[in-house]
Structure 1
């Protein structure tokens, strides 16, 4: 049996800043910028405020910052919990493309910043730890073929725990054996169930899955640093991660091209505060309206060609809450015709019972497009729009804007940051953005956060 866990542990423990290619350093910095914005906005939501209140009560006495929140600093694990939940609070955080069931920023940035602030680590240290976590959790996700959710597990709650542990272990200076123990501990901390997609209630827990993944990574790393042990076959063993959480996994993906192919370069970003599956059709409708010059009220019907997974989990035409607004793709597409969905505050204020949007949502259908069944085509989007006069328009979006193959411009990234942090002091916000762009030269988190 190949020692996959030990191989990842060795990589994560030994990675140093000078090992990382310039493209991945740039990608890591962009992801930190994106996630800090998502986290600060997420801290304003009612569900995240509950988590923040808990973290401040339980974690008091620490030195780590909860972003976007007033109140005391807390211990690193609780800051990671709160910031992880904030990052994933409003469908704004980054993804990996093609999808592997990971959320890079929300899973790796909170533990990195929390521990770095506690131990006075530098910006270079944060970048290195982020890349270690991203590389580890991506390979774990690839090995599962993104099948964990078919078994009822919310994938980021699993992969995020493994990734955040690699982040923590790298920052804490764990050696290979300690890192293997940390990953072994993390395997027993992985959690997150998909029932929130079926129950029609309780969707707040989705945000907690990544918060707990971040917290668990800090705990696993710190326990291993003190000598606590976990199985060093946790990924490949008979009763390990792959056999518990995946269907027909391919373990060779774990170590394939490790250290030569950098998955940090595969991070994708959302322009809109909506589920990832909405990014393509929203962009398509926006472009068709510009090209065709038609208004929302002229639209008779919309058809979105997408993947089986999207059709199964996101065909919500009449949502009853904000989660449904962002998760239900017919409604999200219809909403984008009337609302600037790149502004999270406008999405947050949208009424799920708005009859104008609901009427168009009821005329918006989603169907399986055969193209999405091809390898690497899960994000493929075909949007057909029929106008009331009978005229038809079609737009194909192979990769939405924000994906590695169709990246957002720096101006678009900065606009997203400023929209998400609109309630912050403008001067302080812009200074923070400038420092994040210079992350590798920040001596510590106190300097970064100001």
Structure 2
């Protein structure tokens, strides 16, 4: 009998646990892990994160896994995965698959790999490979779904994340291919997360929870599978499986689930965000800041702004009057207004004070969002007209950090040092060194 997609993916992951993964893939994965630790450390500072940390401490104390940003706290692996996933996504600074497929590997898979890696006392290379192989699986599921779960109201990282997290956790637990297949089968029933936050007046902080729940679910699925709990082998491509359930009204691409395994590395498609806002706001924010620096005009000089891009901007990202910073980070008009008023490279510019700044709000209301033929979901064109009739246009297909416009090691280090400032220089420097040489480390050390 032919193998199902989950059986094929599980066999691939187990095979590559002991095989060489190309050096350039390992390098890109390390950049993503460094970026995730930085984002989670910075994310620990926010009230919504503190609530999750308190929950993890209440129900997880006594374990061996680190909650990032709180180096002295140790909790059991599921609670660490939950907390670190929520912290990594706490301020829209985590990585994302490019082109978009609804996969946030840094916030969903890395926390599971970190938590179980510490629990199992794994070496750095094993953790790095577990993250890569989890990313390979989750990304293919996202690609096969054509990002369609969000079309019917599900938040995609909460849907793809449990699968990748289950692979990463299961590999570190020593599961064989049959065990990983069961873990994937269980993960499919643990997918969760609704897009309601994008339309509600309040409660948008729930978005931060979805990646954490995905990471926790992956640990749960893997641990149950390790104890003999079984899950359906047809969870991805079978009747009532993931694609059938969540892609029922849209095209699906079953062949993409297992295409070119070990040859076409999805990990290399991980994009690292430059600004503390949604991925769909990155290029427009970059363009606005570029025009401001190039022409040295003032926000009060602006008559109106037109942002053209993918149809996804309409309805989801065109809110001109966000009520809080979470809505602001999801709003392209707000992010562009902020980039014309403050330094978007500093995540501290994105704040409640910015959302309530009358000048930024007034400028945001001058923004109109429209569709245009695009080369990718991120492609935007920003047109700024001044009161004196001057017009400037900036067309941007790839923000700095996308695989087609990659960051350098220096870029990674600058962002890491900025986001881990709370740890102190010596701790931050030591942690960066540990992570950039992860494949040579005998064990994970976050303290």
* Range of TM-score over shorter length: over 0.9
SS at 2:190 equivalent: coil
Kindly indicate whether residue 443 of structure 2 is the aligned counterpart of residue 449 of structure 1. no
Aligned pairs for 1:28-47 (under 5 A) are 28-47=29-48
Give distance in 2, aligned partners of 1:354 and 1:291. 24
Kindly indicate whether residue 149 of structure 2 is the aligned counterpart of residue 148 of structure 1. yes
Determine the structure 1 residue equivalent to 2:50.
Answer: 49
Give distance in 1, aligned partners of 2:287 and 2:344. 13
Tell me which of 227, 241, 260 is aligned to 1:257: 260
Aligned pairs for 1:4-403 (under 5 A) are 4-16=5-17, 18-69=19-70, 72-246=73-247, 247-348=250-351, 350-372=353-375, 377-403=376-402
- Judged with a 3 Å threshold, the aligned counterparts in structure 2 of structure 1 residues 140 and 357 are, in CA distance, closer, same or farther, namely same
Determine the structure 2 residue equivalent to 1:439.
Answer: 438
On the 8 A contact 2:280/2:377 being kept in 1, the answer is no
Shift of 1:412: 2.1
Shift of 1:409: 2.5
Give distance in 2, aligned partners of 1:433 and 1:339. 28
Shift of 1:259: 1.2
Give distance in 1, aligned partners of 2:130 and 2:350. 33
SS at 2:63 equivalent: strand
Give distance in 2, aligned partners of 1:112 and 1:18. 18
Give distance in 2, aligned partners of 1:289 and 1:84. 35
Can you give the 5+ residue segments of structure 1 that lack an aligned partner in the other structure? none
On the 8 A contact 1:77/1:215 being kept in 2, the answer is yes
Aligned-residue CA RMSD (Å): 1.3
On the 8 A contact 2:93/2:273 being kept in 1, the answer is yes
Can you give the 5+ residue segments of structure 2 that lack an aligned partner in the other structure? none
- Judged with a 3 Å threshold, the aligned counterparts in structure 2 of structure 1 residues 442 and 434 are, in CA distance, closer, same or farther, namely same
Give distance in 2, aligned partners of 1:54 and 1:140. 30
Shift of 1:348: 2.7
Shift of 1:72: 3.4
Give distance in 2, aligned partners of 1:424 and 1:91. 20
SS at 2:112 equivalent: helix
SS at 1:134 equivalent: helix
Give distance in 1, aligned partners of 2:14 and 2:194. 30
Give distance in 2, aligned partners of 1:339 and 1:66. 32
- Judged with a 3 Å threshold, the aligned counterparts in structure 2 of structure 1 residues 172 and 433 are, in CA distance, closer, same or farther, namely same
Give distance in 2, aligned partners of 1:57 and 1:79. 12
SS at 1:301 equivalent: strand
Shift of 1:289: 2.2
Moved over 6 A (4+): none
Give distance in 2, aligned partners of 1:369 and 1:420. 35
SS at 1:188 equivalent: helix
Give distance in 2, aligned partners of 1:313 and 1:449. 37
TM-score scaled by length of structure 2: 0.97
Shift of 1:11: 1.1
Give distance in 2, aligned partners of 1:354 and 1:77. 40
TM-score scaled by length of structure 1: 0.96
SS at 1:231 equivalent: coil
On the 8 A contact 1:17/1:128 being kept in 2, the answer is no
On the 8 A contact 1:13/1:169 being kept in 2, the answer is no
Deviations 1:144-200 (A, max 9, x none): 000000111110001001110011111111111111000001111111111111222
Shift of 1:2: 5.8
Give distance in 1, aligned partners of 2:315 and 2:409. 35
Give distance in 2, aligned partners of 1:182 and 1:172. 11
The number of residues matched between the two structures is: 444
Determine the structure 1 residue equivalent to 2:412.
Answer: 413
Shift of 1:294: 2.1
On the 8 A contact 1:154/1:193 being kept in 2, the answer is yes
Give distance in 2, aligned partners of 1:209 and 1:222. 20
Give distance in 1, aligned partners of 2:175 and 2:65. 20
SS at 2:195 equivalent: coil
Give distance in 1, aligned partners of 2:97 and 2:241. 24
Give distance in 1, aligned partners of 2:158 and 2:344. 26
